[in-house]
Amino acid sequence: MISSPLMTVMVDAVRKAARGLRRDFGEVENLQVSRKGPGDFVSAADRKAEEVLRDALLKARPGYGLVLEENGIIEGTDKSHTWHIDPLDGTSNFLHGVPHFAVSVGLEREGQIVAGAIFDPIKDELFVAERGKGAYLNNRRLRVSGRQDMADALVGYGTPYLGRGSHPRLLRELGAVMAVAGGTRRMGSAALDMAYVACGRLDAYWERDLQTYDFAAGVILVREAGGFVTSADGAAEPLAPRSVACGNEGLHRDLVAILKKVQAA
């Protein structure tokens, strides 16, 4: 486990937000739900969890900026630090009673993600990472998978909400990956997809049309677990392109090559 004042702040915040989510998941049919766009829902649980995170992080680090999924951007006085906050990653799973969702917080310092915490309250799995200090699942140090052959690999991906993003391209990419990968999974939480790459449950993962709060924490988790993360186009920092491809060194390279070939065709 990582013991640092920063990690204590992050872990306390995600655990506190997750307490409400666990409660609300038990009576999800009573939650107030509204639609942000076609197929894109937000519930009172998302909003409450975000308030808990915002208040906890503002209290602990008053000057830092915040990028919040449900409440937008809060500019900080400290321009070099920004939190990227997803209070409930996997809202569709949550609202359908599928027990696979997480709270995710990543910290950006001078354009680089330097710390992340992702908490799955149903499985009681806390994934944390800080630059130079490693990545952990609960108390276990993480390492990405050692598989080298795409034919053996389990590859995660994500699909954008209806009306957002490029579905025809995704279908071509998925076809190309399915033709060579051992298996594919669309699990429904970008944060957990990346946490699963960090701990070797998935061998690789890609998704486009994301927001920074979907993947910020995942970036540092995968890197600190010895993996590689770029944008889906292979650009070194995924924050600006807002897409992700990740895996161990070899499978990340192979995945990006497949995506590039589809792009060029």
Asked whether position 89 contacts Ca ion by CB under 5 A, the answer is: yes
Asked whether position 214 contacts ligand IPD by CB under 6 A, the answer is: yes
Q: Closest CB to Ca ion among 69 and 203?
A: 69
Asked whether position 86 contacts ligand IPD by CB under 6 A, the answer is: yes
Place of tokens 């065709």: 265
Q: Which two tokens stand for residue 223?
A: 């890197």
Asked whether position 207 contacts Ca ion by CB under 5 A, the answer is: no
Asked whether position 90 contacts ligand IPD by CB under 6 A, the answer is: yes
- As beta bridge partners, residue 86 has 104
40 is in an annotated binding site: no
Smallest gap, in angstroms, from Cβ of residue 13 to ligand IPD?
Answer: 17
86 is in an annotated binding site: yes
Question: Cα(205)–Cα(34) distance, rounded to whole angstroms?
Answer: 29
* Per-residue contact string for residues 155-184; x = within reach of ligand IPD by CB under 6 A: ---xxx------------------------
Binding partner selected for residue 184 from Ca ion, ligand IPD, none, CB under the kind-specific 5 to 8 Å limit: none
Q: Closest CB to ligand IPD among 189 and 231?
A: 189
Task: Dump the DSSP string for 141-168.
Answer: EP-------GGG-EEEE--PPTTSS-HH
| Pairing relationship of beta strands 33-37 and 244-247 according to DSSP bridges | unpaired
Binding partner selected for residue 145 from Ca ion, ligand IPD, none, CB under the kind-specific 5 to 8 Å limit: none
Asked whether position 91 contacts ligand IPD by CB under 6 A, the answer is: yes
Total interface residues for Ca ion by CB under 5 A: 6
- Residues whose CB falls within 8 Å of the CB of residue 91, separated by 6 or more in sequence, listed in order: 41, 42, 43, 46, 101
Longest Cα separation, the chain: 51
214 is in an annotated binding site: yes
88 is in an annotated binding site: yes
Question: Cα(164)–Cα(37) distance, rounded to whole angstroms?
Answer: 9
- Residues whose CB falls within 8 Å of the CB of residue 108, separated by 6 or more in sequence, listed in order: 81, 82, 83, 84, 114, 212, 216, 239
53 is in an annotated binding site: no
84 in the Ramachandran plot: left (φ > 0), alpha (ψ -120 to 50) or beta?
beta
Asked whether position 70 contacts Ca ion by CB under 5 A, the answer is: no
Please identify the residue of the shown chain whose CB is closest to the bound ligand IPD.
158
Binding partner selected for residue 43 from Ca ion, ligand IPD, none, CB under the kind-specific 5 to 8 Å limit: none
Question: Cα(100)–Cα(255) distance, rounded to whole angstroms?
Answer: 25
Contact residues: ligand IPD, CB under 6 A: 86, 89-91, 158-160, 188-190, 207, 210, 214
What is the contact surface with Ca ion in residues (CB under 5 A)?
A: 69, 86, 88-89, 91, 214
Annotated binding site for Mg(2+): 69, 86, 88-89, 214
